[in-house]
Amino acid sequence: MAHIINLKTFKDTRGILTVLDRVVDFEIKRLFYIYAVDDSDRGGHRHHNTHQAAICIQGSCKITNNDSKKTEIFELDTPDKCLILEPEDWHVMHDFSQDAILLVLASTAFDPKDYIYEPYANSI
């Protein structure tokens, strides 16, 4: 089930430091980031095996998620929020601000066979 975790963040007069240390329960095999998104939706899939962690490191976006039991909308609007996505989480990323940069940490290398594009019957 998708859920938000708050990343450990330290603030002082020099700035802000957010730490990604032992945050995810998987070995990170791939990093990618999405930016310069127009008004299109991204995603629209779930996975057979891949676990993911999504952090909007600049700007904001929303991720609508369906785990076959319920649909939730998560707003990623600060870089200290991390959305954990399980393989069964069918998700759509949308409403990107103009300056948004969405960083995603994944547990597997890219494999087109890992993607399931068919939404759940009660999907978004």
How far is it, in rounded angstroms, from Cα 46 to Cα 13?
A: 41
What six digits make up the tokens of 121? 């019957």
User: Which amino acid is residue 95, in one-letter code?
Assistant: D
Q: What are phi and psi of 65, to 5 degrees?
A: -125, 140
Q: Which two tokens stand for residue 8?
A: 């450990």
User: Is 45 noted as a catalytic residue in this protein?
Assistant: yes
Which of 3, 45, 48, 51 is catalytic? The answer is: 45
Catalytically active residues, by annotation: 45
